[in-house]
Structure 1
């Protein structure tokens, strides 16, 4: 095994989930190709600069695009989550947060004005203008041990509170046996960016406990309304101290240079890269 390649344990977890063609000419080894994908995401190099030991770069690039469109890496992530849940290894004290990723100039050449858009692709390709230029925002929900449970990509200028509900609704951990996927955390920890009345009402409706500090202006408005302002939301400082877990999860994801800077032109490809990196974080923790 070389640097930035799958270990035997990681390959054993991923190999059964890779689709295989029933007919056709012999193709490049699946492990060799997947190692090329991991190497590319780890180092952030262009596809054309892949070392020859991974086979033709066109093969690695084409197969990555096929897996991204098929959602193979997302299914692999859900599968390893299901195995961890069956073993009681998931801490359902869920933390949510977001991080902004700068888009490289290669990612900006998407032909967004009037360009063709795939059936599962947004028109803006999750690229937006913010102070840093073209950026993408990764919204992340992780478990209490700092492993990704759900990922949502939006343009960089999108506010966190708008994306909190769709992010939590992306948590779907399948059951290995009978039963519906688990979608509801025991508790959610979030920072002040998620302190909105609408989000708190959504969590109460789903029966999810939450620990989110109240914004200063919200506290002032409540005090100004007197007895009509209602009770202050509950806040447990000891529980909130665990919010650094999601920051450490982002730190591990951004150790992949292909994640820390976005080089992918489409949101589908970039989300597939984030899902593959998330799968590796899970595989190294089980």
Structure 2
């Protein structure tokens, strides 16, 4: 049962297979399903790439395939395809923090953003997410843990269809966010901060649906490599999250 929990089901594979690159150059690729199962095993177990069991083929093949397809935008395209018909009438926005493991914090320090920060509690990364009315991910952004939720809200709002309703907690109660939502004809059902002078309409009953975004975070954190960040490269870590989200969509 433990082995089956890591691997793609026939249903998931039937959805994912047609979306994979289908024109290999030169020598035929190692079996895609076996390699993807090895990649999923690594994310679910939290082990290193080198510890991927032999039944999934060489661990270097799993790693290289994951990174190469990430650079080619394969994971982004697959997530976009499976989420194209999302329920956009009601969407929720929120963020969650993942602690960075010491192995993930040892990369070269440079001018690029590693998606790590030091808020209270240590080195963390923060995932900002927009989910639909069924709790399925629509748009994702990764930052350091010290970045305020509101800083990424406007970018996520761009993925919301016109006429939708947006649910967010008090951390998103700012004039800039409300104006960005209004510009797309989106109603921001966000509770008013206690010190706000201009009050906005708010529906407590509708706000109860916001727990769907919390459920989404709980589901992806069942994968140990997501709950704790081991990847040094922020692009690899975000790609891992997107690949997990593809599985969530396949089982929605």
Measured in 1, the distance between the counterparts of 2:106 and 2:173 equals: 36
Would the alpha carbon gap of residues 13 and 201 (structure 1) be closer, same or farther in structure 2, given more than 3 Å must change?
Answer: same
2:222 paired residue number = 255
Q: Which aligned segments of 4 or more residues in structure 1 are displaced greater than 6 angstroms?
A: none
Q: Counterparts of 1:1-286 in structure 2 under 5 Å? A: 2-82=4-84, 85=85, 90-113=87-110, 123-169=112-158, 171=159, 183-184=161-162, 186-218=164-196, 222=197, 230=198, 232-285=199-252
TM-score (norm 2): 0.94
Shift of 1:183: 4.1
Structure 2 gap segments, 5+ residues each: none
Measured in 1, the distance between the counterparts of 2:164 and 2:88 equals: 9
Measured in 1, the distance between the counterparts of 2:72 and 2:161 equals: 22
Shift of 1:27: 2.9
Measured in 2, the distance between the counterparts of 1:198 and 1:45 equals: 42
1:2-35 CA distance string (max 9 Å, x none): 3310001101111112114443223310000011
Shift of 1:217: 1.8
Would the alpha carbon gap of residues 52 and 236 (structure 1) be closer, same or farther in structure 2, given more than 3 Å must change?
Answer: same
On the 8 A contact 2:100/2:125 being kept in 1, the answer is: yes
| Number of residue pairs matched by the alignment | 250
Would the alpha carbon gap of residues 7 and 152 (structure 1) be closer, same or farther in structure 2, given more than 3 Å must change?
Answer: same
Structure 1 gap segments, 5+ residues each: 115-122, 172-181, 223-229
1:174 paired residue number = none
1:189-237 CA distance string (max 9 Å, x none): 000000011111111122101110011122xxx2xxxxxxx5x200011
